[in-house]
Amino acid sequence: MPGEIAEMEAPHTIVYHWWEKSKSGKLKFEGWPSYHLQPSGASETLVRHRGKLVSYGVWRLGTPIWRRFAVKERTITVDALKASFERNPSSAPG
C-alpha cells in the first residue's frame, strides 16, 4: 500500500500517511496511524497509538467495518512491539 512518513520527531513520534485508490485513480481510503513514545520510569516506555481513517464515496458505507480492521491491526502491531522488547529488553527505548 503506498504511503509516506507524514511526521517524524525521533525518537518520540512517527505518523504514517497511507492511501488506497480505485483502478480509476479515485481515493477509496486514507489513513494516518501514529505512534508516540514517552519514557515512563527507568526502564519503561509508554507507547500510544492514534489513528485517523477516512473513507470516500461508496466506501464510506463500510467505515465501521474498516475501523474494526484498523483496531485489530493496531492490536497486532502493539503486541508485536511489546513482545520484541520483552525478548530483548536492552533494545527498549526509554
Q: Which CATH class is domain 3-91?
A: alpha beta
pLDDT in tens, 20-75: 999 999 999 999 999 999 998 888 888 888 989 999 999 899 888 888 888 888 88
- Report how far residue 52's alpha carbon sits from residue 32's, in angstroms, rounded to the nearest whole number: 5
- Judged against a pLDDT cut of 90, whether residue 12 lies above it is answered with yes
* Buried/exposed code over 63-84 (b: 16+ C-beta within 10 A; e: otherwise): eeebeeebeeeeeeeeeebeee
pLDDT of residue 91: 54
pLDDT of residue 85: 73
- Judged against a pLDDT cut of 90, whether residue 13 lies above it is answered with yes
Q: Where are the domains of the chain?
A: 3-91
pLDDT of residue 20: 93
- Report how far residue 62's alpha carbon sits from residue 54's, in angstroms, rounded to the nearest whole number: 11
pLDDT of residue 18: 93
pLDDT of residue 17: 96
